[in-house]
Chains A and B, each alone.
Chain A
Amino acid sequence: MTLDEAFFQSCGYHTVDISPCADGRLQGLLPFVLRLAPTMR
């Protein structure tokens, strides 16, 4: 399952703002763990 803008909108969210820890071990959080990519506003 892919987490994309359409999915978050279907959940009732127009904006999702994520603040992870800056530790390098969280670098893969978005693409590999949550499987989503940030988009430009």
Chain B
Amino acid sequence: MATDHELQVQRKREVETKEESTMPARLFQPQTDIFETSEALTLVLEMPGVDKGSVEVKVENDVLNIEGRVDFSKYEGLQPLYTEYNVGHYARSFRLSSKIEQEGISAELKDGVMTLVLPKAEKAKARKIKVT
């Protein structure tokens, strides 16, 4: 795949919810790729600054909730001089279109990118229909 085009800045999107959050800090939405194979649904989420122990993935009522927390204590003692982006925890939810085998969900985190594999439940897998 050609990757020689120049990258443009993608502005961080804040989470917009109907309910008001009880804490004043802002949350950000991870940039997400989602693709589906016959076996699973895969989500790839960009959450720079989030380490393995700070992610929470939940499926409730067919809604997938993902939360990633950044360790902002690293910023203590740092005085901002010039900034171009803001930092905060990440959160995003997706309504799932197919049934998921919850126990089989696996997550991998590398260079601030989380790959989440949600295996489809047996009955949600597509059957090949033979034309007779």
A binds B: no
Binding site for B on A (CB under 8 A): none
